[in-house]
Amino acid sequence: MQTRDGLAAFEQARPGLLGLAYRILGSRTDAEDAVQDTFLKWQANDRGGVDNPGAWLTTVCTRHCLDLLRSADRARVEYVGPWLPEPVQTANDDTIEHATPEHASALASSLTTAFLLALQRLTPKERAAYLLHEIFDMPYPEVARTLDLQEPACRQLVTRARAHIERAKVRHVTPRERQRRLLAAFGTAIATGSVDALAGLLSDDVRLSADGGGRVSAARRVMHGPAEVLRFIQAGLHAWWASGQLEEATINGNRGFLFRDGGDINATVSFAYDEAGLLTDVFIMRNPDKLARIETALPLT
């Protein structure tokens, strides 16, 4: 009975643990490893003395993620070209499209590539404290216990993190109609080389970042400004991708593309917008290690 109850408690917590680990680490692979390690510790633990399984599992998972960050940060110093979070598809498009507006908005805003990159610029404990309190609604006393800190220290971590996230302006959600307009213009640019429709949708400081990880060809610096970004799309992506297929998908909570060439997914494209709905970022994932499981949706909250 205890084994069945323990498994049920873990399965109930799994989507939340995956969501927390993925946001902390920016890697689906590492997040799933962290959750699996949490499960093994849960199985080995004397669960009779655990009053709150969810809190116990969250604590173990969070601390394991913080341990993983130390080695991940060292490896990132040697990364070739821009580093982007591993893209994920949410459970399915209907999960976003037909959820309550409040739930869909909250989920989308906390999964975007821009938000994950903003989290990466926080210290590990700022990141964890912010996510636990602001995204997963954990009270400060529980955050303090999870991070093994005093409550005032946790409040300071969240305050600093919140200020950074607010300055980055990455928690708003762009209306679907605006996203569809951008996708249509981007698709036209890739297919025909014409960037006229796309040009009017870009912010003045738009950026394009491509992550190849040194494994495949990709731009090794971030491109800045409408002229440079449009030139790269028109002269580069149009030439390389026009013979392939852009397939719309929900990537990290927003509408984006899977790029297929010969049936294989060779890239994902996701976007970020400012509060006026203008495009601020194009994120292209080319690293095959980070695309290995993009077709399998990740069930997280």
> Which amino acid makes up residue 82?
P
pLDDT given at position 78: 78
Residue ranges in the chain modelled with pLDDT below 50: 1, 92-98
Please give the pLDDT value at position 1: 36
3-state secondary structure of 106: helix
Domain with CATH 1.10.1740 in the chain: 1-78
Return the pLDDT at 71: 76
Residue 186 CA: distances (Å) to CA of 53, 237, 248? 46, 10, 11
Model pLDDT, residue 299: 77
The CATH number fitting domain 1-78, selected from 1.20.1070, 1.10.1740, 1.10.3470, 1.10.1390: 1.10.1740
Predicted pLDDT of residue 294: 95
pLDDT at residue 104 in the model: 65
CATH class in words for 176-291: alpha beta
What confidence score (pLDDT) does residue 72 get? 73
Per-residue b or e along 252-277, where b marks 16 or more CB atoms closer than 10 Å to that residue's CB: bbbbbbbbeeeeebbbbbbbbbbeeb
pLDDT at 93: 44
Could you tell me if 82 and 212 are in contact, meaning their C-beta atoms sit under 8 angstroms apart?
no
Residues of the chain with CATH 3.10.450.50: 176-291
pLDDT digits (tens, 9 = 90+) for 194-204: 999 999 999 99
